[in-house]
Every structure is written in C-alpha cells, then in structure tokens.
Amino acid sequence: GENVEQHPSTLSVQEGDSAVIKCTYSDSASNYFPWYKQELGKRPQLIIDIRSNVGEKKDQRIAVTLNKTAKHFSLHITETQPEDSAVYFCAAIPSRSSGDKLTFGTGTRLAVRP
C-alpha cells in the first residue's frame, strides 16, 4: 500500500520568513496530493491540493510543487504569519480504484515566532 513520509516533524520560523515542508510517497499510481492544516483542537482543514498532471499550484502565500519522477511533493508558505502556526499534514490518494482512502504523513508542527 501507499506510504507517505513527511519532514521535518517540527519547524520554527521567524514571522515573514518562508517555510517548506516536504513529503515523499511510495505508490507511483498516486494521483492526488492534498495538504491539511490543523490548529489546536480544530478539524483538519484542506488548504491546497495538487493533481498528478500538474507540477505546481499557488494560492496567495501558499504553493505546492510535485515531482512525479522523484515521488515527492512540497508545501511552501511565504511571508509567514503567527496565524500560520499549526500542524500541517500531507496526504496522498492512489488511483481511484482504491476509493478515496487518504494516506497521511506524520505531520509537521510549524511555529511562527512574532
């Protein structure tokens, strides 16, 4: 089955700096890669996603890149703000034949220092 590894497990940045979180996946058939943000005591919130036929996607200060050959994808947050502090999870869905099973990475706790 699919295996997703995520690094780093914790990340501390100064407000205004950039943050990068990296994930690798094992199943070359995976075709959908979402990122979730989970604030303390809250539900995971979908913040951005990318399909296997796209190399990069941006949404304001957030961007995700995908390298299918290397089987890794990354989340980039620019101009970080204190409200970006949360745990971020990457995930992958194999081909649709596997239904909608999300395999998650282990999470990255991001702290943005004011």
Partner 1 sequence: KAGVTQTPRYLIKTRGQQVTLSCSPISGHRSVSWYQQTPGQGLQFLFEYFSETQRNKGNFPGRFSGRQFSNSRSEMNVSTLELGDSALYLCASSLSGTDTYEQYFGPGTRLTVT
DSSP state of 93: B
- Residue 37: how many other CB atoms lie within 10 Å: 20
What letter represents residue 102's amino acid? L
Instruction: Decide if residue 101 touches partner 1 (CB under 8 A).
Output: yes
- Of 14, 60, 99, 114, the residue at the interface with partner 1 (CB under 8 A) is 99
Q: Identify which of residues 54 and 79 has a Cβ nearer to partner 1 in the complex.
A: 54
Q: How far apart are CA 64 and CA 98, in angstroms?
A: 24
- Which residues in the 44-83 window bind partner 1 by CB under 8 A? 44-46, 49
Half-sphere exposure of 100 (CA within 13 A, CB side): 1
Q: How far apart are CA 91 and CA 102, in angstroms?
A: 6
Min dist. Cβ of residue 106 to partner 1 (A): 5
Q: Identify which of residues 81 and 106 has a Cβ nearer to partner 1 in the complex.
A: 106
Q: Identify which of residues 13 and 104 has a Cβ nearer to partner 1 in the complex.
A: 104
Q: Residues interacting with partner 1, by CB under 8 A?
A: 32, 34, 36, 42-46, 49, 89, 91, 93, 98-107
